[in-house]
Amino acid sequence: MSRKTFLKSGIRFGIFLSASQVLQYCKTSPNDRYDYERKNPFDPEFLSENISPILKAIRIGITAPNPHNVQPWKFKLIDDYSALLYVDEKRLLKDTDPTYRQIHIGQGTFLENLSLGIQILGYSAEVSLFPDGKYTIADIGKKPIAKIVLIKRDDLVQNPLSEFISERLTRRSIYEGEDLTWQDFEKIRKDSAVLYSELKFVPKAGSEKLRNQLIAAMQAETDTYNTYEESRIWFRYNDEEIGKFKDGLSLRATGVSGLKYYFARNFFLKPGAESWHSPENKKAGMDMFTSQVESSKGFIFLKTDHNEIIDWVQAGRDYLRLQLAATKNGFSLHPLSQILQEYSEMDLLRKEFEASLKPGEKIQMLVRLGKSDYHYYSPRRDPKDFIV
C-alpha cells in the first residue's frame, strides 16, 4: 500500500497519523528496506569492511530461506578462508518438525546461497558434507554438517543465479497476474538446474483437490495446540520485536502492510497465548492462508528418490536454486510445508497426499507461485552471533 493510498484510507476511516507513522507503515518504493530488514550482503558498505573472506561468505549465506526464519546455523571458524557449519540445536522446531528434516533443508539452502553468492567476490566454495563421518539426528549441534573452504579463482565463471541473491525473498502475499504455464515452468526448471532432486509442476487449472488439501493441513496445524503454539513462540508482534530479535515470523512477513497492518497491530493481534489461540485469531489466520492458497497461479514440488539426512541437505540446495530461478523469471514463491510435516496429527493428510510416491521417495518442498510486488526482507541476526 502506497503512502498516498494509506492516507486516503486513514482519512476515510477517521484515522489521523503523523508523518512518522505513515513512514512506519508504508515504504517509499519496493526497493526500500526498513532498518530491521536484512541488509543486502553485496552492499558496497558491507563489502568494504575489513573482515575475512569466510565472514563475508557467512554473511551472504545467512540470507538464505529457512523454516520459520529461525536461522538454525552456527559456525566454527578454522581460518580466514574456511569454517565448519553446524545445526544450532537451540533453534529447532520440535513440534512442527520433529524429525528435523526441515531444519536440515535449511542447512542446504545456506550452503547453496553461500556457494553461489561468494562467486560474486571471486571465490569458489568447496563444500564437504559430514566431514566427521557418519551423522545422525543424535549428532545435531555436535558434528558438523559441512566443511566450507573458499578458493580464490581468477578464471571463475559466475553462475547467473548468483545475481539474484540480493533480491530473493519469500512472498506470502496475495498473488496477481496470469496462471503459470508449462512454458513458465520449463524456464524456471532450466534456470534452476537442480542437481539432486526432481521438480514437478501442478498448474492452477485442475488443482482444486490440492488446494483443499493444503488448506486442510493448515487447519490441522492451527487446531493442534503444540504446533500452533510453536509458531507463536517464533512470532514477532510488532516492528520493535522484529528489530530486537531479528528472526522469526511476523505480520509483515505474511504480506500484511499499510492500513491492514496498522489495524492488526494496534487493535486485534495482542501478545500472549490466550489471544493467539482464540477462535477469532485462528479464524483470521485461516482466512488469510486460504486467500493466499486460492490466489496461487501454480504449484511446484521438489521430490527426492530417498529420504535420508543427506537428501534433506541436498534438497535444500536445490530449493535455493529453485527460488533464485523463480526470481530471475519474475515469479514469487511461498513454501507450503504444513502437509509435508511428520507429526501424528498430520499423518493422515500427509499419507493421502503422498500416496502416489514410490517406496522411499519423499516430497521435500511444495511451493505456490505467482506474481506480487510486495517487498519485505526478513531480518537476519548479526553474523557474529552465529560464531561459536
**Is there a contact between 324 and 164 (Cβ–Cβ < 8 Å)?**
yes
* Residue 371 φ then ψ, to 5°: -125, 140
Residue 305 phi/psi, 5° resolution? -75, -20
What value does the mean pLDDT take over residues 169-185? Answer: 97
Give the number of C-alpha atoms closer than 13 A to the C-alpha of residue 11, restricted to the C-beta side.
5
Share of the chain above pLDDT 70, in %: 91
Mean pLDDT across the chain, nearest whole number?
Answer: 92
Classified as helix, coil or strand, 332 is strand
Q: Which helix (H) or strand (E) holds 344?
A: none
Q: How far apart are CA 146 and CA 85, in angstroms?
A: 5
Average pLDDT over residues 349-378: 96
Residue ranges of the domains in the chain?
1-32, 44-166+378-386, 182-370
Q: Quick check: 30 pLDDT over 80? A: no
In CATH, which of 2.60.40.1250, 3.40.109.10, 3.30.565.10, 3.40.50.150 is domain 182-370? 3.40.109.10
Record the pTM: 0.92
- 25: pLDDT strictly greater than 60: no
Answer yes or no: is pLDDT of 46 > 90: no
Q: What's the rounded Cα separation, in Å, for the pair 234 and 248?
A: 5
| Nine-digit cell string for 336 | 507450503
Residue 383 pLDDT > 60: yes
44-166+378-386 folds as: NADH Oxidase (3.40.109)
Same fold, 44-166+378-386 and 182-370: yes
Q: What is the pLDDT of residues 223-264, one digit of tens each?
A: 999 999 999 999 999 999 999 999 999 999 998 877 777 777
**Distance between CA atoms of residues 84 and 70, nearest Å:** 19
CA nearest neighbour of 37 among 236, 320, 319: 236
* Mean pLDDT of the region 262-277: 81
Distance of CA 15 to the CA centre of its chain: 34
